[in-house]
Amino acid sequence: KRLLVEQKDVSLETQLPIRLDIAMYKKGLYKETDKMSDLICENYPMVLVMSRFGIALGFGEKSIGEVCRQNGVDANTFLTVVNFLTGEVQGLTDEVSSALSLETLIRYLHNAHDYFLAFRLPNMRRKLNEAISTCPEDVAFVIRRFFDEYAEEVNKHMTYEASDKYNISIFRKRHEQIDQKLSDLKNILIKYYPGEGGHLLNSVLFDLFTTEEDLVSHSLVEDNLFVPSIVWYENKVLNR
């Protein structure tokens, strides 16, 4: 049985902002023999992907395969995620699923959760507090409340992802709730913020947009790589 991953109603091209369709980015499948430094310089969003596999900077002229092996990362799984996000891999077949390392994928997802919950969202809140420090207190209170509600939805979503009661319909509902909270927060800042704003507030708004894109990409890796791999392995065990 062949597993093909498809998104209903909306194509992957429109769902994945991090997919690299801009002319400045390299096109073509990345391979183990390509330099890791070339991957990052040619597709800079991949620095986040690399870090979620537990790979640090400072790898010199080493190839992707060499860097992965030195860091205990399955190179095939790393390249599957990279090539999926760069648009070169559209979904999973049985052949691709059988070659993926679930251990490596799980590490990637756990590190991504830690990045959002322990680093990115707390830093955004600190920057937001500084940016709105001169606006009326009642307005600042509302903005902080909307941000905290957004951060809480992200927290609930990722806590649910890590649970053993995963259901795709509940997963999508939680993602819609995140989208709504983020839309409300962006609208307040864009349309109704009463102060002068300035560079710092613009930077916060930019962070909200890039975080939204990063979360969409994160969800698509789960939906299109992780979940189908789990299904494939479960079917393999059941059919023994």
Q: Which two tokens stand for residue 71?
A: 């860091």
Q: Is residue 171 over pLDDT 50?
A: yes
Give pLDDT tens digits for 172-201: 555 566 778 888 889 889 988 887 778 999
d(CA 177, CA 149): 10
Q: Which residue has the higher pLDDT, 193 or 164?
A: 193
Give pLDDT tens digits for 36-57: 999 999 999 999 999 999 999 9
**Cα 155 off chain centre by:** 14
Supply the mean pLDDT for the chain.
Answer: 81
Give pLDDT tens digits for 93-107: 666 767 788 889 889
Q: Please answer whether residues 198 and 130 qualify as being in contact, where contact means their C-beta atoms are separated by less than 8 angstroms.
A: no
Q: Please answer whether residues 195 and 55 qualify as being in contact, where contact means their C-beta atoms are separated by less than 8 angstroms.
A: no
Q: Is residue 21 over pLDDT 70?
A: no
pLDDT at position 88: 72
Q: Which residues contact 201 (CB under 8 A, 6 or more apart)?
A: 131, 132, 189, 193, 195
Instruction: Report the candidate in 205, 195, 206, 203 with the shortest Cα–Cα distance to residue 139.
Output: 195
Query: What share of the chain has pLDDT > 90, as a percent?
Result: 44
Q: Which two tokens stand for residue 108?
A: 């990637």
Q: Please answer whether residues 220 and 6 qualify as being in contact, where contact means their C-beta atoms are separated by less than 8 angstroms.
A: no
d(CA 80, CA 186): 33
In sequence order, which ranges of the chain are alpha helices (DSSP H)?
12-15, 36-42, 46-52, 64-70, 75-85, 94-99, 102-114, 121-131, 137-161, 168-187, 199-221, 227-238
d(CA 77, CA 53): 10
d(CA 34, CA 27): 13
Q: What is the DSSP letter of 55?
A: P
Rg of the chain over CA atoms, in angstroms? 19
